[in-house]
Amino acid sequence: MKIVTLHKPLNIDSIYNHLSQNLNPVFNKHKPTSYKYTVENLDDAIEITQPELYPGDVLYHIEIDHDKLNITRSEHYVDDVNSLTLESVMNELFDDLSGKGGTDLVQEG
């Protein structure tokens, strides 16, 4: 699990809205592709999937804990170049949400 501190309390809806609007466009700037990621709001968590390449797998599961994001990545999606790009894009988008305070990686493993 990876834990990221946003330094700004946010709710799940604001994170979902930002990811759902920006994840695919920003990803395509870094790595142009026809594949689209799906961002789902499950009320208490966000899940990111890519049904064309990984049918039935949740690639990322994100839960919010005040100003921290608990991010779980699928074990089937760790060494893929798309995974590295997507993780970089998510970090960029989390930075946007955090504003001037930026983000901190609290734990990864």
pLDDT digits (tens, 9 = 90+) for 79-92: 577 788 888 898 88
Q: What is the 3 state secondary structure string of the chain?
A: CEEEECCCCCCHHHHHHHHHHHHHHHHHHHCCCCCCCEEEECCCCEEEECCCCCCCCEEEEEEEECCEEEEEECCCCCCCHHHHHHHHHHHHHHHHHHHHHCCEEEEEC
The pTM is what? 0.86
pLDDT above 60 (res 41): yes
**CATH number, residue 18:** 3.30.310
pLDDT above 90 (res 35): no
Domain tally for the chain?
1
What range does the domain containing 6 cover? 2-108
pLDDT above 80 (res 6): no
